Chain A
Amino acid sequence: MQADASPSGHHLVELKGISKRYGDLLANDRIDLAIEPGEIHALLGENGAGKSTLVKILYGVIEPTEGEILWEGRPVAIGSPVEARALGIGMVFQHFSLFDELTVAENIAVALSDDWSLATVRSRLGDISRAYGLALEPDRAVWTLSAGERQRIEIVRCLLQNPRLLILDEPTSVLTPQEAEHLFVTLDKLSADGCSILYISHKLEEVRRLCRRATILRAGRVVGTIDPRARSAREIAALMVGNEVGEVRSGTPHVPQGEMLRVADLTMAPGGLHGQALKHINLVASAGEIVGIAGVAGNGQSELFAALSGERLADRADAIAIAGKGCGTVGVDGRRRLGAAFVPEERLGHAAAPTHRLSENTLISHAAAEVSHSGFILVNAAKRLAGAIVKSFDVRTPEADPQARKLSGGNLQKFVIGREIIRRPRLLIVDQPTWGVDAGAARLIRQALVDLASEGSAVVVVSQDLDELFEVADRMAVIHQGELSALKPINEWTKEAVGLEMLGVSQSQGAAHAV
């Protein structure tokens, strides 16, 4: 067990009553957190729980609205990452900031102050590599390195400045299991040498492997500081996702009719360095029902959406069937013609072009809408369609036919969802339908999804918002590291069970994947 304070009588760092407010949103609500010297402290929580905000405050990237930070008992104001580094705080971000064309040593040298010559970097790099098992060849160009090796550069870059506290943000998200184990060994050594580590994760096994203390955040608040090894996964999951009873859906459950979407053993390699592979996904959605897909962000949701929409193609036609037609190798246009419609997560830039007028934005799903004829744009039809969407989905616009970027998030989301729903698709696939949207718009959007299913369409909702899924979905599955759990009726799910699946600790794992 960790002692409550270091021999000197002080915590290494203590956050007291830290709050951060963005408009109406309280991202951090009076957070208290203390880290002891040499301790590996975990920060656990779902996406949006406020973990990133908190560590950015600690690293001087964001200024807190309220609260104070004590460094070895002394109040400090950390105004910038430079000041954070001067105190002895180092941070390894989830996304690396490296120059691909430069060598390992050069990448480290550019980030350090001017009094570091390339030669000193090179020799210190050797020392640190040996001491912590961070093997790195100083003269290799970064573009030839694996994700794990790139992360080592980031870590070494921090270690060269002799940090007292090292913050790691989801460090294993880009690593193979072997690379992750290697990292854990390094972190154990660092901790033994007296360096404190703040380890941000939503993966329970890792946290248990590394940490004796974990602070759990939910909705911007600390819900508990626990010993992760002394609690069951079930208890921790309940703390993370909350154990309130899910709202019972009003109205009659939908009655599934014909099969509109079938995904059969869909496997896809990750699209890029930070991508997630999809592994043997099986999914069926029938006309008249809403299928929900829950999961913590970054577990393959956007990859699954891209595979379903046809923005990325599968290697077999029968991996995805829409309305009974195999279309795994057919692009997004062809799938729209089969009666499918898609709403991606990102409103600006993906679902809509920011600088284009709403009428022009109707052309994005032109393949299935009546806005073009033999290659020519039907300008008036496009304007009428945009007007109809604005009217039936209560889109508040500052002027007639404005540019998409002039709409608020909620109104634009109503527009892009309305653009697809207004043509009554037989299958609608929507990724994060109410992400960053005000409550009123969210209610309208959920109602529209429920109504569409009632009228006999199949709807697939990918969402991080569990309450939303419990409210609208008829059946639900959880995606974790590119694998989809069993698809079960919503009343057979408890929040706790979903939480366990999101952490990858499923009780029914064997059974679910045997199907």
Chain B
Amino acid sequence: MRFELTPRTTVSPVVRALAPVAAFITAFLIAGFVIWLMGRSPVAAFQVYVIQPLSDPWSLQELLVKATPLALIAIGLTYCFRANFWNIGAEGQYVIGAVLGGWLALKTHGTEAGFWVLPAMLVLGIIGGALYGLIPAFLKTRFGVSEILTSLMLVYVAQLTLDYLVRGPWRDPKGFNFPQSVTFDPSATLPPVWEASRVHYGTVFALIAILVTAVVLGRTLFGYRLKLTGDAPRAARFAGFSARSTTLAVFAISGGLAGLAGISEVSGQIGQLQPSISPGYGFTAITVAFLGRLNPIGILIAALVVALTFIGGESAQIMLKLPLDLTQAFQGILLLCVLAADALVSYRVRLVSRGGGK
């Protein structure tokens, strides 16, 4: 017995639109079943995971804070994934962006340096992430090394570099030996969008990135170049699009946006450099990108949904004593359900017995 997928000839737009909804319901049912197996009430879990965060103003702000780096990184990854390049190292590009931008904050710490510090930090963050993203791109175009391996391995290099810096040269001398830098000056801090809020300007950058990307991917020749490179690389070469410059461009863009996410998080949210500056945003963003089907608006929604699971997961830990791993499992279940729904919309599944296949 085996499964056979045959493409459906016509798919109604209504079914296509309802597919993600069905996927969400299925994911919640599966997760509810797992929670029930763990001896907790699925209804209470749904209350804690979804209803509470969405009904509380503080949680809603927190949702935006968490969704910001996810959206920024995922939107950058979209450029890579559309062109069929596998940048798995956004986490590292995020960290290097934070390190390079943070370096300026530490350099100007306690000086009279003025308003230029923050913009310069953001630019350095973008440059840092972009250059770090260009390493796997260069290795791929020059030596043909798989970008999947190099980009992933460079994550660890970045994380350990940050670790070394905050434990060594950049450690706050008055920090009671805690591995962290000094707290950034106000001139090096990304301000909140409105008074006394936790939502910083990184959210605005993310929204701008989403809008610009929607235009670039949908309306420009560069956007078409990525799509063509991803869908038919030979046709892309025939169209005169050099694979080399496409590779370098998409890695620079996605690295740059990951770097911007990193420096925004450090200067707008954490306020200093410390060994851990991300709960795996760079990796979760890969899920977000595919959950949003590499579509900018889809990514906006997906980032909010995944941010919700982060926040819900934290409260579930406290209130229901559910482990954090369940949150990650749920993110995985959700992605699988969305991908499966996509496949089921486009293909019909048939069960074929062994003999009948010939």
Question: Which residues in A have some Cβ–Cβ distance to B below 8 Å?
Answer: 309-311, 331-333, 336, 342, 344, 346, 349-356, 360, 363-367, 372, 375-377, 379
Contact = CB atoms under 8 A, between A and B. Distances in A.
A402 to B, nearest CB: 12
Interface of B: 219-224, 227-228, 231-232, 234-235, 237-240, 242
Given A331-B240, A350-B234, A356 B227 contact: yes
A342 B240 contact: no
Contact of A350 (B220, B231, B235): B235
A70 B194 CA distance: 87
B231 A366 contact: no
A337 to B, nearest CB: 10
A364 B235 contact: yes
Interface centre among B227, B234, B235 (most CB of A within 10 A): B235
Contacts of A366: 221, 239
B244 to A, nearest CB: 12
A167 to B, nearest CB: 23
Contact of B238 (A351, A354, A356, A360): A351
A311 B227 CA distance: 19
Contact of B219 (A332, A351, A376): A376
B240 A353 contact: no
A379 B223 CA distance: 13
A350 B235 CA distance: 4
Given A366-B221, A377-B220, A342 B238 contact: yes
A363 B237 CA distance: 13
A68 to B, nearest CB: 20
Contact of A372 (B221, B227, B228, B232): B221
B71 to A, nearest CB: 25
B231 A353 contact: yes
A344 B239 contact: no
Nearest to B241: A333
A310 B221 CA distance: 20
A349 B221 contact: no
Contacts of A346: 234
B221 A332 contact: no
Nearest to A333: B240
A364 B231 contact: no
Given A376-B221, A377-B220, 19 more contacts: A311-B237, A332-B237, A332-B239, A333-B240, A342-B238, A344-B238, A350-B234, A352-B232, A352-B235, A353-B228, A354-B231, A354-B232, A356-B227, A356-B231, A360-B227, A363-B224, A363-B228, A367-B240, A376-B220
Instruction: Give the 7 A-B CB pairs with smallest separation, nearest first.
Output: A333-B240, A353-B232, A364-B239, A332-B240, A350-B234, A353-B235, A372-B221
A350 B238 contact: yes
A379 B219 contact: yes
Interface centre among B232, B240, B242 (most CB of A within 10 A): B240
A332 B220 contact: no
A354 B232 CA distance: 8
A198 to B, nearest CB: 26
B221 A363 contact: yes
Contacts of B235: 349-353, 364
Contacts of B231: 353-356
A343 to B, nearest CB: 10
Contact of A332 (B224, B227, B228, B238): B238
Contact of B228 (A311, A364, A367): A364
A514 to B, nearest CB: 36
23 contacts: A310-B240, A331-B242, A332-B237, A332-B238, A332-B239, A336-B240, A342-B238, A349-B235, A350-B234, A350-B238, A351-B235, A352-B235, A353-B232, A353-B235, A355-B231, A360-B224, A363-B239, A367-B240, A375-B221, A375-B222, A376-B219, A376-B220, A377-B221
A271 to B, nearest CB: 12
A372 B241 CA distance: 15
Contacts of B232: 349-350, 352-354, 356
A356 B242 contact: no
A463 B242 CA distance: 28
A377 B222 CA distance: 9
A356 B232 CA distance: 9
A365 B240 CA distance: 8
B239 A365 contact: yes
Interface centre among B222, B228, B234, B238 (most CB of A within 10 A): B238
Contacts of A375: 220-222
A342 B238 CA distance: 9
A364 B238 contact: yes
Contacts of A379: 219
B295 to A, nearest CB: 16
Contacts of A344: 238
Contacts of A333: 240
Contacts of A376: 219-221
A366 B227 CA distance: 15
A64 to B, nearest CB: 15
A363 B240 CA distance: 11
B14 to A, nearest CB: 18
Nearest to B237: A311
Contacts of A355: 231
A377 B238 CA distance: 18
Contacts of A356: 227-228, 231-232
A356 B223 CA distance: 13
Nearest to B239: A364
A420 B228 CA distance: 19
Nearest to A356: B231
Nearest to A363: B224
Contacts of A360: 224, 227
A342 B235 CA distance: 12
Nearest to A372: B221
